[in-house]
Structure formats: C-alpha cells, structure tokens
A and B are shown apart, each in its own frame.
Chain A
Amino acid sequence: MNAVTPQRAAAPAPVGLLAELTHRCPLRCPYCSNPLELDRRSRELDTATWQRVLTEASDLGVLHVHLSGGEPTARQDIVEITQTCAKLGLYSNLITSGVGGALDKLQALYDVGLDHVQLSVQGVDAANAEKIGGLKNAQPQKMAFAEKVVALGLPLTLNSVIHRGNIHEVEGFIDLAVKMGAKRLEVAHTQYYGWAYVNRAALMPNKAQVDQSIRIVEAARERLKGQLVIDLVVPDYYAKYPKACAGGWGRKLMNVTPQGKVLPCHAAETIPNLEFWYVTDHSLAEIWSDSPAFTAYRGTDWMQEPCRSCDRREKDWGGCRCQALALAGDAAATDPACSLSPLHAKVRALAVEEAAENPPDYVYRTIGSNVRSPLKEEAKL
C-alpha cells in the first residue's frame, strides 16, 4: 500500500471531436483557423481510418462530431463518414462553406442522418462577401445551399466571422439569418490565430465598432427571443478575461487533422516542442490520456502567476496557450488577453493602433505558399 505510483488526475471524457477531414477548400478566407502549413490531399486519412477514429471517439465518450476542414464536402466519402456518425449515435455537425460540391451532397447527407449544418457567410453584401472569401460567385451558391438545408428541415446555423471588413454588417447578418430561417447565428469576432494572426492588421476592428456590434446583438437577442438564438464571441484583445480556450486544454475537445495528428485545439501546432500523436499510431483513448501534447497544459499544475493563485483558474484555465506563445513568447504564460496579465495593456494598445491604421491587403489562405507574418516582430511583446 505504500508504493503508490504518482497519478495524474484522470482526464474527464471529451465531449467533442473536431474532425478536420481535409484542408482543401474553395474559399480563401484570410482569417482561416487552419495552420499556415496546410495538409495536402495525398496525406489525408482514408475512409476506414476515419471510421475507426469515430468508433473510438464514441467509446471514449464523445457526443458531438464537427465535420470540418477545409471544406468537408470536398471529400468524396463525406456521406459514408456522416453515416458512421449516425450509426454510432454521434451528433454530426457539418461545418461548411456551402460552395463547391456541398449542395449536390446535401440530400444524401440528410438521408444518412446528418444532424445539423453550420454554414459560413463572409458578408451580407455579395461583393464584400466574395472579396473576403476570395471566391467569385460564392454568395449565390451559399444562399441556394441555405435554402435547401431549411427546406429539408435540417437545423441551420449561420456562422459569421466578424472583422473590420464586415463589422458594419452585423445587423445585416441578423436579418439574413432570420430571412433564411436559421435557428442560430454565430456572431464570432475573429480570434487571432493561424491565418487571422497573419492578417491581424487587416482584420482588427476598433473598440467603438466592437461595442456597437455587441449592442446590436444584445438588442436583437431580446427582439428575436424564441425565433433566433444568437451566440456572440467577443474579440479577445478587447476583453477583460480570456475565454477558456476549447473549454480548457485537454478537457472537452480533440482535434484530428487531415493527416491524423491529434491536437488539443486547432492552433496547438504553433507551440514548438509539443509532441503530438497520430491516430495511425495510437488509439484515441491513449492519445487523450497520455499523449504529451494533451498532458502538457491539462489542469492547473503547469500554471505560473498570476494564473496559479487566481480564483478564475478553473473558469478560463489560463486562457489560450497559443495566444500566450504568440504574444508573450511563452506558452505557459497567462494569456495576454487577460486584464491580469502584465502584457495586457500592450496587447490592447496594439489592437487600438492596428485598428486605427489603414488596413493592409489580405494575405489569402493557400496551400503550399510560404507565408510570413507581415506583422513586425514587436508583436512578440
């Protein structure tokens, strides 16, 4: 009884799996959450492997599967994968751009038991939307897709990523969601990782615009109660406390990349020296409980001050590790989006400064480009 092996607190079972089925996408949004280095088609997992991963996820306690990408309908086997979710009782959420082959596959997806569709809309005005998404004629395709989703009786959520290029359209997004018959609308201010970090100066709105957008959403929520649910994600840089990124590191979510690498969040690869495991080498359960990437920042043991003694440490779990790395140069630091971080004032000043300048051009998302951040190195404060 006295030779006790030290044990980590058992990880709670994950509730969500973000399945990035492919990085291929017809759109080129400059705030895409995918990594700068995108996986090529030749390295994507095959159908059988995804089906095994889903089965393991179900056994592990996952309830929601987010079929994402890239554009998930770019995969020929999207219907088979969705059907596997349905058979396992997993709640399937298709996160789609609605362009390309999405519309053609919708009926089949419905027939095999797809539960929910989340459709991205880049803007309300078609020209603006297509400039942001970097694809001509995308808007009519999206509208036709939304119409079919609602006609089938599938619940539709519109997702609008908000930045200085469309923040004037928040009211319009709300009207559009109502007009389309969506049940939910996500008004998600850009989170600055991945491509959005590169394009931050082109995307960052000013504080007055952000405040105005929040007021519009709050008024609409009251007005549309029982008709449209509006989820609001406020921009980190202007917030008082950081968000619990992915519900806390290694607490709720697993993210599987097109080539089978398993991440605690979609931006985790930006943190150097983290060891990620692959579904081709390990079971999902092993990866969840034992992989170095998942255990690195799980719980509170890794925390420094001011997080370590903070009474919010189990509310926001120190905020976002990737943002801490990007802005503070240390992934174990307090997220500088937190007002308690010594760097918070600088981050805020940076946002204000960038929002005040004329926006640079977008750096569009592409596979195989050698992208360097246009931000000066002073971004690492």
Chain B
Amino acid sequence: MNAAFPTPGADESQRLLSPEELEAALRDIGARRYHNLHPFHRLLHDGKLSKDQVRAWALNRYYYQAMIPVKDAAVLARLPDASLRRIWRQRIVDHDGDHEGDGGIERWLKLAEGVGFARDYVLSTKGILSATRFSVDAYVHFVSERSLLEAIASSLTEMFSPTIISERVAGMLKNYDFITKETLAYFDKRLTQAPRDADFALDYVKRHATTPELQRAAMGALTFKCNVLWTQLDALYFSYVAPGMIPPDAWQPGEGLVQEAAPASAPGGAAKLVAGDVPRLPRGVRMRFDQARDKHVLLAPERTFDLDDNAVAVLSLVDGQRTVTQIAEQLAQTYAADARVIEADILIMLNDLAEKRVLER
C-alpha cells in the first residue's frame, strides 16, 4: 500500500482499470484536489487580494518556476531512449529559453517585476516561505527518487492547468489595476504548452501503468503533486491572509521592491493591515447615526462615508482592542458564517479605509 499518498477509495480494489478508466480516475483527482479549488486562488482570481498579497504569491511561486527545469532534467536523465528525451527536453527549453531573456522563468520574473519587485531580490529567493521551499524541494526529490512512471505521472497536473490559467488571466486583468497583459505573458505560452506536455505524459502513463499496483502508484504520484501545489497556497494564506503570521525572515510587505516608498518608515504605517493587527478609528474619524437621512455615516476630514449594515457591524467592533481576527470571529458567531471568509472580506474593507487615511492600527 502506498500509505503516504492515499488514492481515491474507488481504486482500493485490486482491479486493473482500462486506460479510459485510469484517465477518468486521474482527472477525478484533479477535480477534487487541484489548487484552483484553494481559497487563496479564489481570492486571487476574484480580485480580493491586496497588492502585497499578490506580490507574496508571485515571489513564492517564482521558486517553483525556477525549480521546474531541475525537476525535468531529473526526469530527462532517466529516460532510456532518444525519442522520449527529444520530447521531454522541450519542457526545459520552454522554461529556460533558448537565449538570455527568453523562456518561462524569465516571463515569471517579468510578472514579479510587474507587481513591483526588484529582479535580484526575486532571484535570491531569500524572501520565500520555508513551506514553499520544502514543498518544491520535495517535488524535485520525488521525481528523482521514485519510479519513472511516478515521476511522469506527477506532471499530470498540467491536464488541469489550462482552466486555471484562463480563470487567472481573466480574473487578474479584470480585478487588479496593477496587473497588465504584459505582466501575465507567462500564462499565454503555458496555455498551449501545458496541454501538449500533458498529452504526452498522459499517454505514457496510460501505456505504462499496466498493473493495479502501477496504476495506484500513478494516481498516488498525481495526488502528491496536487498536494505540493496546495501546500504552497496553504502557507501563503496562513502567512499573508489569515491569521497573517509571516514567519521570521520571510518577505514583509515593502521589502525587495523597486521605487516604492518603504512603508516601514511611514508614520502610521502604509503597510497593509493584516489579520493580527488591531485596527482603530483615529481622532477625527467617527461613526454616527444620521437622523435626517436615517442611516449610519462615518465622518472624516472633509468627507462622509455612507455605511451599509455590514460596514456598521464591522466598525462597531473596531475599538482599538480587538484584532481583525477577533472581529471576524465575533461576526462569524453573530451571523453563523465562516470566520475565514469574513476575515478576508473585512480585511479588504479595512485596508480600503486605511488607504484613505481614516483607519489606523
């Protein structure tokens, strides 16, 4: 039994699946575990992340991109014949490019630069989360150490990627004014490269997974790979969305950027509010009920904000004592809703007010 990476229950039987059944089972793994289902990706694609959260994603994901050719070289080294190597080596060419300034890694660097990073900072990978490094390194080791069939099967997440890429490109262009079509050039290429790569790998797996054990190993490998991707988003969510615990040494908003005022030195702090922060309304900003118009308003220097019921519920709990997480928990109890979802939502609202200088921490 492959206990480390349990495969779907239906396949616990020792029965040999037809190639079509095997393909269906592999696709089913993606339908349930691929990282497009992760809450972080939903926030990313729906435009709910702050610029700094998008930056954290771009920075960490660079390490994954940078190690892909290393992983593919490990596969290549184990392929026994020239015809297979000719096909597989195209992946390395795609990623590394044919010359300076070309290739998928370069395009990812452009994306990172597009959201404000200094190139050298991204290349150094010193700001990435340890969880990112562990996940990606585990993937490289897996491919080097497991069977060739498992190594190839683990690449099959490419079967699912065109969907996520379309969602991502459309969502990011629509929702983030700091993302341009040029910034997302990486994904343009992957839309055609990924299906081509996946076709070959899927065909290989279907032809070579000829026993129930091998089939389960292939499914286990794909599950493992889904987890490699999922874990990276877990870590991003934990560190930069909620509870917002950024590990020591990992990237802090403001670091490694080009031409940005260093938020750390800004009075009041221009850095984004995170879940662990205690928000407060400063002197000169107050909420009151406006009898003449029968609604709550937030009064601020030279401005009045009309508040809806949700905003009133949140701001009533902004007391200079509670953290964002505690406010979300309180609201989750009152409204019997998911605290994580509320937290992500109210962080957006509170950061919007902070940007307008009417909320501080």
Contacts and interface: CB of A to CB of B under 8 A. Distances in A.
Contacts of A263: none
B288 interface: yes
B304 A226 contact: no
A227 B284 CA distance: 16
Contacts of B304: 15, 63-64
Interface in B306-352: none
B266 to A, nearest CB: 5
Interface in B248-291: 259-261, 263, 266-271, 282-286, 288, 290-291
B235 interface: no
A169 B34 CA distance: 55
A94 to B, nearest CB: 11
B301 interface: yes
A61 B301 CA distance: 18
Contacts of B68: none
Interface stretch (A151-159, A210-218, A300-308): A151-159
B356 interface: yes
Nearest to B297: A63
Nearest to A159: B302
Interface string B207-219: 0000000000000
Interface residues of B, number: 29
A181 B290 contact: no
A225 B269 CA distance: 10
B354 interface: yes
B293 interface: yes
B299 A155 contact: no
Nearest to A59: B292
A229 B302 CA distance: 12
A172 B266 CA distance: 18
B302 A93 contact: yes
Contacts of B299: 63-64, 91, 115
Contacts of A118: 301-302
Contacts of B133: none
Contact of A181 (B267, B291, B301, B302): B267
A67 B121 CA distance: 51
A153 B282 contact: yes
A155 B301 contact: yes
A228 interface: yes
User: What secondary structure prevails in chain B residues at the interface with A?
Assistant: loop
A166 to B, nearest CB: 21
Interface in A176-228: 181, 183-184, 223-228
A226 B263 contact: yes
Could you say which of A89, A93, A154, A227 has the most chain B C-beta atoms within 10 Å of its C-beta?
Answer: A227
A269 B270 CA distance: 44
A77 to B, nearest CB: 22
A358 B103 CA distance: 59
Contacts of B269: 226
Contacts of B292: 13, 60-61
B21 interface: no
Could you say which of B261, B286, B304 has the most chain A C-beta atoms within 10 Å of its C-beta?
Answer: B261
A223 B261 contact: yes
Contacts of B85: none
Contact of B266 (A115, A155, A226): A226
Contacts of A93: 301-302
A131 interface: no
A89 B288 contact: yes
Contact of A157 (B267, B282, B301, B356): B301
Interface string A98-136: 000000000000000001101000000000000000000
Contacts of B286: 91, 115
A72 B297 CA distance: 27
A116 B301 contact: yes
Contact of B355 (A64, A116, A184, A226): A226
B19 to A, nearest CB: 55
Contacts of A184: 301-302, 357
Contacts of A15: 304
Contacts of B301: 93, 115-116, 118, 155, 157, 183-184
Contact of A227 (B267, B288, B297, B302): B267
Contacts of B259: 223
Contact of B293 (A61, A115, A155, A157): A61
Interface in A240-291: none
B300 to A, nearest CB: 8
A227 B270 CA distance: 6
Contacts of B263: 226-227
A260 to B, nearest CB: 23
A15 to B, nearest CB: 6
Contacts of B288: 89
B261 A227 contact: yes
A116 B300 CA distance: 8
8 contacts: A13-B293, A64-B299, A118-B302, A155-B301, A157-B302, A183-B268, A226-B263, A229-B356
Q: Across chains A and B, which 8 residue pairs bring their CB atoms closest together, nearest first? A: A61-B292, A226-B270, A155-B284, A91-B299, A116-B301, A183-B357, A227-B266, A227-B270
Given A63-B290, A116-B301, A227-B263, 18 more contacts: A15-B304, A61-B293, A63-B299, A115-B283, A115-B286, A118-B301, A183-B357, A184-B302, A223-B259, A224-B270, A226-B266, A226-B354, A226-B357, A227-B261, A227-B267, A227-B270, A227-B357, A229-B356
